[in-house]
Amino acid sequence: MNLTLYVWRQKSSKDPGRLVQYEAKDISSDMSFLEMLDVVNEGLIVKGEEPIAFDSDCREGICGMCGQVVNGVPHGPRKKTTLCQLHMRHFKDNDTLYIEPFRAKAFPVIKDLIVDRGAFDKIIQSGGYISVHTGGVPDGNTLLIPKHDADIAMDAAECIGCGACVAACPNGSAMLFTAAKVSHLAMLPQGKIEAARRVCAMTEEMLAQGFGNCSNHYECEAVCPKGIKVKFIAKLNREFIKAQMTGS
Amino acid sequence: MLFPTSAVGKKIMMAITGQVLALFILFHIAGNSTIFFHALNAYVTALYKLPLFVWGGRLVLLLAFVFHIWYGTVLKLENHAAKPEPYAKTRYLQATFAGRNQIWTGVMVGVFLVYHLLQFTFQVTNPAVAADTHPDALGRPDIFTMVVQSFRQIGIAGVYVVSLAALGLHLLHGIQSSFQTWGMNNEQTLPVVEKTGNVVSVLLFVWYCAIPIAIIAGILK
Amino acid sequence: MILDGKIPSGPLHEKWDKRLAEMKLVNPANKRKHRIIVIGTGLAGASAAASLGELGYTVDVFCFQDSPRRAHSISAQGGINAAKNYPNDGDSIERLFYDTIKGGDFRSREANVYRLAQLSANIIDQCVAQGVPFARDYAGYLTTRSFGGAQVSRTFYARGQTGQQLLLGAYGALSRQIRAGTVTLHPRTEMLDLVIVDGHAKGITVRDLVSGRIDSYAADAVCLASGGYANVFFLTTNSVMSGVTATYRAYKKGAFFANPCFTQIHPTCIPVTGEHQAKLTLMSESLRNDGRVWVPKIKGDKRPANDIPESERDYYLERKYPAFGNLAARDVTSRATKEVCDEGRGVGPGGRGVYLDLGGAIGRLGENTIRERYGNLFEMYERITAEDAYQQPMRIYPAPHYAMGGLWVDYNLESNVRGLFVLGEANFSDHGANRLGASALMQGLADGYFIIPYTIANYLADTKPGVVAPDAPEFKKSCEEVEAFTKRLLAIKGKKTAHEFHRELGKLMWNNVGMSRSEASLKEALKRIPEIRAEFWKNVTVPGSGRELNQELEKAGRVADFLEFAELLTHDALQRDESCGAHFRVEHQTAEGEALRDDKHFSYVSAWEHKGVDKEPELHKEPLVFEHAHLAVRSYK
């Protein structure tokens, strides 16, 4: 199939960017979206032009490195699918695709479709862990965790930190990302001890990093490639209220 | 304290003030519905015999308004700053028209409120039918005539219907959103809260609109 | 040279305790004066950096992704082994040790493997404490599942994302230390050289992938945890950025590379669909529990699978290995699959695929049962192939997956270069000629959490902190070399992309140095690789400059290293004139086609010393001594 692409090109964070038109020719429907871009890039390199810069690593939907906005939707049109797992058979011949970087103040563009998601690391650094030292821990089975709780914790822990939630949010909020980590740890007995401090520190860091607030649009849930639910945002809110009421 | 400046704290302030205002909206239409039984003047007179309730309520509402507007503005500005560059192509999958335009429906409701207060509370827009200066046969302020006379003008009725639509949209997003912010949601309750919020919003819109429409249609005179 | 693995003396189960007691310690007050560099943030790197930071060392950690959480450990699906014996099915440290050393076809170091088994239980406890949501039963206890190569149920898991959850646990611990200020994170930074001063590793030279700046960092010790090199085969299950660069450049600076020919080919991956493909995706091996593998009996049969009658299907694994059937060992299955495809009976585009048919199981157990067991895999398969595996059999084909070989290290994980420690998949030590499922995660975390914190202290105790300043001439020289290398790549301005060379190399490696290797195929590869390399240095094109984010430059650098490393790998494969584990020389097989080991002549680790590009590397041997385990013919019958 043949496609017309409008791709965001931006030399560096300091330069202004713009959409540039490219023709993607003879694209196989078996290609993944990123392989389609690989093909376009090979063509550009041979012509002596600079290829389109974009992030990707594992290409099997788990590392969270890839992510672009395709026709207004982060990770493209297929539900619960990262861009690297989205295949071209979901597009039609002669389609026009707008390909843009994830946009948010907290995710400045580094080059073309690559953005800096270091703000996510900063949120985790502010408290997205259990403060345990290596060694000196009890046997894993001394801590009993109901299957139901462990399953919910795992639902939240599946977040791959790709940033699609921020890209989709009209407010550029990182609530779903933050909520997933807060909920994952707050569901587990070993994580409850620091839950109050954690939720306050992480939401504060989220604002400090320039993310917006949650307006409950649930756009994040709709684009999340791992299907993380907004019920975890409600859980974060509860954890926050609990923390405030207990004065911690 | 972290509360009033934090991301969640600000949202909870929005939720709690919004819920107070929504409760008032419910109370307001319940009281106003006495108009259908030609008991509006009696209801208002009875109400004004409870000055502590009236003035206490007004104070609470005023505070709720001030905080709702203040936090709404702060949040909007912060959220806007967090997303400075728009996409060339935008497509929403789940975010509703109502949700995305919450600030604008809010502004519309605010502007309307000023007009509404000037019209029926301060009664300065049309002194000829001002209830305070035109008592009914029993000597009570003739609110009924003021309302009916006002809404007979299609323009005024139109302004009300449009503004109420804005209010309805505002509630459409606001009600379900406030429950989520309070954390009173899980996977099972979320769709229920959303649906209930939608139904209540539409009901309120229809209920409120019933008054001007009934008057225009000549059902209420 | 005969290498000394510095294995403690005494009985096997006392060796690690003995070493712990012997090793020197660093005074707590002095720890922060010692600077340690960690390269890589996978399970080994992140756990090492976090643990060292907790102890109070000053740590610099580097990764070339945008965040430590992207490292390829995250892709591991199945689980992590631990000798907990929770199910009461007879597991023990001894049994895990034996399974692992047997799985490695007796080509790993006994003492290392035993220590790994000893530490395995601590890893689970540590990860639980970190909040890793391992699967639990209804009473709240940890549950396990069975995995290949073991008769006990000892594999702990978190759905199909065990690697992700373990990595996020280590990433949390690392993040905590970054916040505490003991660890400095350098994301989007790639190590391009190891700096050695007076025979000790004292720093690295890196390229900031965003600005293009080339800089050196000095330290008192360097930990390499940069993962494996399977991408030398181009189409693999590894992530696209995975490379050999960090370890290979350390090799060029004098570190020995051990057993590079030991590369694992995983039998159940989704086949290649075309030239455009960038990588392959693994389908969990567990599908073979309920699936039957077959190809048409007739060459070039183009009928859809469901139209081929039972009598015209060749269930070749069941035919060839009646005892094992579809559950034959990984390497055996992979080779048998290649064989039938070589005969022209492969299915799907390009004829490189076989059917993995769950039709019988669906008929027997019902679609719902199968959906419960493998639903997520069927979904993944559908996403990639657009085929519904409930309606027609899956197509699978083997693909390179893991590197057992790596930089040579002694029992303390220190390479022959003093002060250079190598962790996780980057070293060679624990998996011998073949790795068992669910043991890669175990090794990465054992190295990082429980071995390096002790052994590095033993080294640092004898060194003066900060003795080498960042302005030492060795650093300047290293920066100049890296700069020159970059300039050389940019100056070629040829006609072919780095990607094309990588693909060409990968094809050659796959065909000649892949699942089965012969003297002739290896010799041909040794002839071809330098030719491709020569063409690369004449005809590669790298657009842009070195002073900016330039992904083509990064890629070209990695491919350049693969083009040299491939030769080393092939050389090792040719030198090891026996079959063992994943290294299958067609000259050495039993009548049934099983690998035929030659313990008399090859019971050693091959550690190669770099002598210059286009020169033969020098072989050093570390004899493998088995005091405890009996060398036996590896058989799962």
Task: Tell me the shortest Cα–Cα distance from A172 to chain C, in angstroms.
Answer: 19
Mean pLDDT of B104-117: 97
In chain C, CATH 1.20.58.100 sits at 480-623
Burial of C513 (0-12, 13-18, 19+ CB in 10 A): buried
Q: Which of A140, A157, A192, A214 is nearest to C85 (CA)?
A: A140
Could you tell me if B16 lies within 8 Å of chain A, comparing CB atoms?
Answer: no
Residue pair C561/C502 in contact by the 8 Å Cβ criterion: no
Q: What is the pLDDT of residue C163?
A: 95
* Helix/strand/coil for B124: coil
User: In this model, does residue C428 exceed pLDDT 80?
Assistant: yes
Q: Which residues of B touch A69 (CB under 8 A)?
A: 87
Q: 3-state SS of chain B: helix, strand, coil percent to 5?
A: 75, 0, 25
* B6/A203 Cβ within 8 A: yes
Q: At CA C318, angle to CA C314 and CA C321, rounded to 5?
A: 125
Test the A interface: residue of B1, B14, B87 with most A CBs within 10 Å: B87
Q: Does 3.90.700.10 match the CATH number of domain C267-400?
A: yes
Task: Tell me the shortest Cα–Cα distance from C408 to chain A, in angstroms.
Answer: 26
- In chain C, the percentage of residues whose pLDDT exceeds 70 is 99
Instruction: Answer whether B touches C (≥3 Cβ pairs < 8 Å).
Output: no
Mean pLDDT of C93-108: 94
Q: What is the pLDDT of residue A41?
A: 97
Q: Which residues of C touch A131 (CB under 8 A)?
A: 176
Q: What backbone torsions phi and psi does residue C251 show, to the nearest 5 degrees?
A: -60, -45
Give CA–CA dist C128/B58, Å, rounded: 55
Q: Which of C266, C260, C220 is nearest to C513 (CA)?
A: C260
pLDDT band at C273 (very low <50, low <70, confident <90, very high): confident
Q: Which of C93, C116, C162 is nearest to C435 (CA)?
A: C116
Residue pair C122/C156 in contact by the 8 Å Cβ criterion: no
| Tokens encoding C143 | 């549950």
In chain C, CATH 3.90.700.10 sits at 267-400
Query: Can you list the domains of chain A with their CATH numbers?
Result: 3-111 (3.10.20.30), 117-245 (1.10.1060.10)
Mean pLDDT of C368-392: 86
Give CA–CA dist C100/C530, Å, rounded: 36
Q: What is the pLDDT of residue C633?
A: 81
**Does the active-site annotation cover C330?**
yes
Residue A96: closest C-alpha in chain B: B89
Give CA–CA dist A135/C449, Å, rounded: 8
pLDDT digits (tens, 9 = 90+) for A185-232: 999 999 999 999 999 999 999 999 999 999 999 999 999 999 999 999
Task: Tell me the shortest Cα–Cα distance from A130 to chain B, in angstroms.
Answer: 22
| Tokens encoding C222 | 């360097």
pLDDT digits (tens, 9 = 90+) for B133-152: 999 999 999 999 999 999 99
Which residue among the candidates C19, C70, C95, C330 is catalytic per the annotation? C330
CATH number of the C480-623 domain = 1.20.58.100
- Mark which residues 161-190 of B lie under 8 Å from A by CB: 173, 176-177, 180-187, 190
Among candidates B80, B82, B181 on the partner chain, residue whose Cβ is nearest the Cβ of A216: B181
- In chain C, the percentage of residues whose pLDDT exceeds 90 is 83
Beta bridge partners of C609: C618
pLDDT digits (tens, 9 = 90+) for C310-348: 999 999 998 988 877 887 777 778 888 988 998 999 999
Q: What is the pLDDT of residue C637?
A: 55
Give CA–CA dist C36/C205, Å, rounded: 14
Q: For CA atoms C574, C577, C579, C581, give the dihedral sign.
A: negative
Mean pLDDT of C32-51: 98
Q: In what order do the strands lie in the sheet with C200-208?
A: C189-197, C200-208, C214-218
Which helix H or strand E contains C503, and what residues bound it?
helix C498-512
Q: Which of C477, B221, C137, B217 is nearest to A149 (CA)?
A: C137
Max Cα distance, chain A (Å): 64
Give CA–CA dist C515/C399, Å, rounded: 9
